[in-house]
Amino acid sequence: MNITFRQLKLFLALADTGSVSRAARECHVTQPTASMQLKEVSDSVGVPIYEVISRRVHLTDAGRDLARTARSIADDWAAFEQRIDATKGLTRGKLRVAVVSTAKYFVPRLLGTFCAKYPDIDISLEVLNRDGVVQRLRDNQDDLYIMSMPPTDIDLEDQIFMPNPLVVIAASSNPLAARRDLEPDDLSKQRFILRERGSGTRMAIDAHFKRLKFKPNLRLELGSNEAIKEAVAGDLGVSVVSSYALQGHAVKQGVSVLDVTGFPIQSNWHVVRLKGKQLSPIAKVFQAHLLVESVKWARQES
């Protein structure tokens, strides 16, 4: 096969964007040039590597295999460039991080302090639901991934870096908000509003309720913490959310944290990557920064 590094980067952009035109823009070439280069890649491989269905690009099995190979080559080259920069006293390059949606309440601040130390580093931050982050993890699309419930069917390098307590909330007007020492049975007549199935928060909640042998009376399943907080504030029911989703302002958001035996649920934030994946110098520095700064930040929030 005779495929250039530039063509591999163009194919990676196609795999990431699902669009020839967007891949062309990302690689700063015209669309006709991109189409011609991608055809040359496909011809060189000798089998179809993608197909277009309803104007959307879908990789074939061979295409996904090529994307994984190309990403590994691009990552190795980026790490080499960073090592060379380090010998020159420079710290620059790109850091790619994917996080589950609840982590958006604190990860940008941690990235902010990192960028203040290393202003020449570019950050790519993907905020997705758990399924989206896990898929990116399977495809090895980023340097590091932050989530509360790492998948158990993938070999991972997994490090806990911060607690993620899950608390019960109700509308501030709910009579339970004024009570102390509630038992789970006191919630039996309440309707519950919970995150969608498959989210890390929901998985932790379901496991905890199963241990308590408590079956919540479910009213709604919602895909965002903001929607849940609004529904709870409107007295549609009670919920269990990460304390980070409240950002220390529960009262201002019209909700109260209930004092319930067995809560908060003791969950944790994890930073993970595929087992055996070699971190770039920048990713190593960021992981160390994450561990140090998260301790400081969690202490301030407690």
pLDDT digits (tens, 9 = 90+) for 191-241: 999 999 999 999 999 999 999 999 999 999 998 999 999 999 999 999 999
Where do the domains of the chain lie?
1-90, 91-162+268-301, 163-267
Supply the CATH classification number for the domain 91-162+268-301: 3.40.190.10
Longest dimension (CA), the chain: 72
pLDDT digits (tens, 9 = 90+) for 239-297: 999 999 998 777 778 999 999 999 999 999 999 999 988 888 888 889 999 888 877 76
163-267 and 91-162+268-301 share a CATH fold:
yes
| CA nearest to 76, candidates 290, 300, 277 | 277
pTM to 2 decimal places: 0.75
CA gap 296, 119 in Å, rounded: 21
Strand pairing report for 239-242 and 156-171:
antiparallel
Level-2 CATH architecture, domain 1-90: Orthogonal Bundle (1.10)
**CA Rg value for the chain:** 23
pLDDT at 302 (0 to 100): 53
pLDDT at 89 (0 to 100): 58
The CATH class for the domain spanning 163-267 reads alpha beta
